[in-house]
Amino acid sequence: MRIFVTGASGWIGSAVVPELIDAGHQVVGLARSDASAAALTAAGAEVLRGTVDDLDVLRGAAAASDGVIHLAFKHDIAFTGDFQGAAEADRRAVDTFGDALAGTDRPFVLASGLVGLAPGRVAIERDMPTIDGSPLSIRSATAQAVLALASRGVRSSVVRLSPTCHGEGDHGFMATLAAIARAEGVSGYLGDGANRWPAVHRLDAARLFRLAVEKAPAGSVLHGVAEEGVAIRDIAQVIGRHLDVPVTSVAPEAAAEHFAWLGAFLGADTPASNTLTRELLGWEPIHPGLLADIEEGHYFHAPATTA
H or E element, residue 292: helix 290-295
At residue 302, the pLDDT reads: 60
At residue 54, the pLDDT reads: 96
Shortest CA distance to 270 belongs to which of 112, 111, 113, 114? 114
Q: Are 47 and 17 in contact (CB under 8 A)?
A: no
At residue 306, the pLDDT reads: 41
Shortest CA distance to 223 belongs to which of 130, 300, 138, 112? 112
Q: Which residues lie closer than 8 Å to 22 by C-beta, 6 or more apart?
A: none
- Distance separating alpha carbons of residues 235 and 269, to the nearest angstrom: 14
Beta bridge partners, 224, equal 161
At residue 267, the pLDDT reads: 92
Q: Are 53 and 65 in contact (CB under 8 A)?
A: no
For 205-237, what is each residue's pLDDT tens digit?
Answer: 999 999 999 999 999 999 999 999 999 999 999
Q: Which residues lie closer than 8 Å to 34 by C-beta, 6 or more apart?
A: none
At residue 70, the pLDDT reads: 98
Number of H helices, E strands in the chain: 13, 12
In order, the DSSP letters of 106-157 are -EEEEEEE-TTSSTTS-B-TT------SSHHHHHHHHHHHHHHGGGGT-EEE
At residue 211, the pLDDT reads: 98
- Distance separating alpha carbons of residues 115 and 259, to the nearest angstrom: 18
At residue 118, the pLDDT reads: 85
Kindly give the pairing relationship between strand 67-70 and strand 2-6.
parallel
Spans of the chain, pLDDT less than 50: 303-307
